[in-house]
Each structure stands twice: as C-alpha cells, then as structure tokens.
C-alpha cells in the first residue's frame, strides 16, 4: 500500500486537510494522534485506491522544542518513506522562508510532489496563489481544507501516480513483522534468531519498500521475518527517532500477518509503544508483545506478574494478547517468542465450521440474550464466520441496531474462550435476519 506524506510549516492547515481526507470515505481503518506531538497517521481511499496518509506536523526554526534541528529533518524522513508528497502552503501568508527551504528539499528528489495552496476560498485568493510558482515545483492545486473545496482535483491527480503495490511470489508466506520503538532491541532479537539458527534460506527484498524479509524456517513452519530495525543508521535519524519509527511501523504492520511488538523493559509500555500496538489492532493483525532486556530489570517475586498486569490494563479491552519476557542478548525465550507468533498466526487463520459455531453460541445466547431496548426484544437466530483473512463473525437477528457494545464484547469474549483466539483481534457484526 502506498504512503502519502503531508509536509509543510506549522499553521498552514495540514491537520485539517488530513482529518477531512480520512473522513471523506468510510474506509477508514485507523487514525491515531499524539505519537510525537501533533503527528497523525491513518488510512483512506479515493476512487477505489487505498493509501496511508501521514500528517508530519510542523516545526518552527529556532524554537525551544526538543526537535529543533530544523524542519528539513522531518521533511527528509517523509521524502524517504513516502511514495508521494503533498506540500501544503498558506495563501494568506504567501511564500515564506520556511516554504522555500522545504521546496528546495523537494526539488532534489524524484518522487511526485503536489503543491497544495490552502485557504483559497474565493476568486481573489485564487489570483494570489500565482506567487507560489516561484517555489519551482510547477503546477499547484488551490484548496480549502475547511470546506473541502478543490480537494477532489488534488486527490484525483494524486491517485493517478500511486502505483499499485504488486505482491511478490514470496508474499504468500506468512509475514511476521518485528516492530517497536528505536533501541528496544529489535535488531538484537533478529540477530539472536539468525545467529543461532541455520535454517535461513536467503535474504530477499520485501514487498514493502525498504523492509527486509528474511525467509526463515523453524519448528517445521516457514515464514518471512520482516525486520524494521537497522534499515537506517540511527546517526542519520538524529532527533526525530519517534516519527521515523512510526513511519517504518505503519508500512511493516500493514503488510504483515503477525506483529512482534518489542518493548524495552527498562523504559516500559509507554505511549509510543501503545500507539504502535493500537495501529496493529486496528489493522486486525495478530499481536505478540515481547518484553526485551528483562535481564536488566531488578526483580522481586511479583515483578513479572505486576509488569504483565500493568500492560493488560493499558491495552483494555483487547487483553487477550500473549506477553513473552525475553532477553535478546542472552537469547532467553527468543524461540518461545517465535513459537508463540506461529500459534497466533494459526489462530488468525482459523476457520470454524458454521455448525460448530452455532452449536456452541446459540444455547449460550439463549441463556444470556441481549438486553431489551425500548421494550423490544432481540432474537439472534444464526451466526457464521465471514470469509475474510482475519476472524470476523456475523450474527443474524431481528433488531441489529439495538445491540450495544457491551454485548458485542460479551460475544467476543465467549468466542475467545471457546476457540482460542489469543493475540488475534476479532470483529463481531450483527446483521438483519
């Protein structure tokens, strides 16, 4: 899937445009804010073509922000990761020095750049937009993020240049992505597996740009291990490690089957890690949480139990996730981590016979029916698993609109108890009989 980055200086309306873009169609999968300050990422589609969108936020040169090394660091990262770039400027402010700095960076590379002149909500401002030709980026698109004026023309042009992501033959193998914050030990985990085991066949270029797939065979199970760590030297990333990590994680997560989320035990399960976790959950990927560097933590009798309990409170209501405490340095439990990932993959691929599903669920539903709403009783007659890559279930009833979220969670929990979906997000739908 293609990635589109929205870049520009602060206060030009990038976030407004981003919010309008991901809400324009109902194919929204994810929208998470606050990864690092005001950055956002999500998924949408236009004219039937899906793509991920990154709102890169904006920097002010010379501010006392901890990321003050100039705006060009973030723009360079966006250029590095994205397949196309929307460069947004403000017609009210005209061409500024920071606009010129960003334009200079964008002119040096070959990726498609779309210059979007925002806040053009009348004919007079449309005339004012002519000065942006001076940025040397060719044609521009006049838009108004608040009203949506002009965004259709911009998106039409955008999707025309987004190439279809063609899956390579190797992609039929299951894909396990190792994701997490920088310095959490992702590279060490990969190296521990590769250095100890000699079942590796070959290194291939992955179907997602710049991710590296290692074909791996262990436990009689062959899969692609997707390494999102060590692809760039950290000296090149400098201050913007958080944004860099998210860009990598977005691409890797969208193209994998199971996410191995590596957490630095000395830093804890912080907001950055949680955002990556929820991105995987919203994309319906299998998840295994690996607590790395466990050998560095001072431990008492209940340390592991308390740490695990804390993590599960942070990921509620999706608490049915395996947590493995490892040390990539000493290779403690690294193979158990892979065994667990294989089990999660098999659970995610599980197909339950319709007769078996109904034999279990219908008596349970009859004993614990949905609460009546407005004096109307909900009767569930039939259920089935939908033919999708990840577990989704449809329950057919007379009044699906009255089934509330607490009852959906009750049904989900019963499905987990009976059919073992540990580490696998599942979706439950109620439909009209």
Residue 118 annotated as lining a ligand binding site: yes
Please tell me whether 121 is known to bind a ligand. Answer: yes
191 is in an annotated binding site: no
Residue 55 known to bind ligand: yes
Q: Is 184 annotated as a binding residue?
A: yes
190 labelled binding-site residue: no
34 labelled as ligand-binding?
no
Residue 111 in marked binding region: no
Q: Is 278 annotated as a binding residue?
A: no
**Does the annotation list 285 as a binding residue?**
no
* 14 annotated to a ligand binding site: yes
Say if residue 207 carries a ligand binding annotation. no
Contacts of 353 (CB under 8 A, 6+ apart): none
Length of the chain: 433
Is 355 assigned to a binding site?
no
99 is in an annotated binding site: no
Residue 112 labeled ligand binder? no
Is 90 among the annotated ligand-binding positions?
no
295 is in an annotated binding site: yes
Q: Of the candidates 107, 103, 115, 97, which has an alpha carbon nearest to the alpha carbon of residue 61?
A: 97
**Cα separations in angstroms, 144 against 14, 112, 149, 368, 387:** 11, 21, 5, 51, 41
| 94 assigned to a ligand binding site | no
Is residue 299 a known part of a binding site? no
Residue 56 annotated as part of some ligand binding site = yes
Residue 283 marked in a binding site: no
Distance in angstroms (rounded) separating the CA atoms of residues 117 and 141: 6
Q: Was 10 annotated as part of a binding site?
A: yes
Give the span between the Cα atoms of 111 and 57, in whole angstroms.
Answer: 20
46 annotated ligand binder: no
Is 63 known as a binding-site position? no
Question: Is 343 annotated for ligand binding?
Answer: no
197 is in an annotated binding site: no
User: Shortest CA distance to 176 belongs to which of 168, 162, 186?
Assistant: 186
Query: Any binding-site annotation on 96?
Result: no
Asked whether residue 354 is marked as a ligand-binding residue, the answer is no
Is 353 annotated as contributing to ligand binding?
no
Determine whether the annotation assigns residue 148 to a binding site. Answer: no
The reply, when asked if residue 292 is annotated as ligand binding, is yes
Q: Is 182 annotated as a binding-site member?
A: yes
Tokens of 203: 């290194």
The pair of structure tokens assigned to 423 is 């580490």
Annotated binding-site members: 8-15, 55-59, 118-121, 180-187, 227-231, 292-295
Annotated binding-site members for GTP: 8-15, 55-59, 118-121, 180-187, 227-231, 292-295
């Amino acid at each position: 899937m293609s990635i589109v980055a929205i870049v520009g200086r602060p206060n030009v309306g990038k976030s407004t445009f981003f919010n309008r873009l991901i809400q324009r169609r109902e194919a929204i999968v994810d929208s998470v804010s606050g990864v690092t300050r005001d950055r956002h990422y999500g998924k949408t589609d236009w004219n039937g073509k899906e793509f991920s969108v990154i709102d890169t936020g904006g920097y002010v040169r010379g501010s006392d922000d901890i990321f003050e090394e100039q705006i060009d660091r973030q723009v360079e990262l966006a250029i590095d990761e994205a397949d196309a770039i929307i460069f947004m400027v403000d017609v009210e402010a005209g061409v500024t020095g920071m606009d010129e700095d960003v334009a200079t960076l964008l002119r040096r590379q070959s990726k498609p750049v779309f210059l979007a002149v925002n806040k053009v909500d009348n004919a007079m401002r449309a005339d004012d937009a002519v000065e942006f030709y001076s940025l040397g980026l060719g044609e521009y698109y006049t838009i108004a993020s608040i009203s949506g004026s002009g965004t259709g023309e911009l998106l039409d042009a955008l999707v025309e240049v987004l190439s279809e992501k063609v899956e390579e033959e190797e992609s039929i193998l299951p894909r396990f992505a190792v994701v997490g914050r920088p310095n959490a030990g992702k590279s060490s985990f990969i190296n521990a597996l590769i250095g100890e085991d000699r079942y590796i066949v070959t290194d291939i270029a992955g179907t997602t740009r710049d991710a590296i797939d290692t074909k791996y065979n262990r436990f009689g199970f062959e899969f692609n291990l997707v390494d999102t760590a060590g692809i760039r030297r950290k000296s090149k990333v400098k201050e913007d490690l958080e944004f860099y990590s998210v860009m990598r994680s977005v691409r890797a997560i969208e193209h994998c089957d199971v996410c191995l989320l590596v957490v630095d035990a000395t830093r804890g399960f912080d907001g950055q890690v949680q955002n990556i976790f929820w991105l995987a959950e919203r994309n319906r990927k299998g998840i295994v949480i690996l607590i790395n560097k466990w050998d560095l933590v001072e431990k008492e009798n209940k340390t592991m139990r308390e740490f695990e309990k804390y993590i599960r409170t942070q990921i509620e209501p999706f608490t049915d996730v395996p947590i493995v405490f490892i040390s990539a340095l000493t290779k403690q439990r690294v193979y158990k981590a892979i065994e667990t990932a294989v089990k999660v993959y098999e659970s995610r691929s599980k197909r339950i016979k319709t007769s078996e599903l109904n034999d279990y669920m219908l008596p349970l539903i009859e004993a614990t029916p949905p609460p009546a709403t407005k004096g109307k009783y909900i009767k569930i007659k039939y259920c089935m698993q939908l033919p999708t890559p990840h577990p989704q279930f449809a329950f057919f009833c007379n009044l699906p609109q009255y089934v509330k979220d607490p009852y959906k969670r009750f049904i989900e929990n019963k499905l987990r108890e009976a059919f073992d979906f540990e580490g696998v997000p599942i979706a439950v739908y109620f439909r009209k009989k």
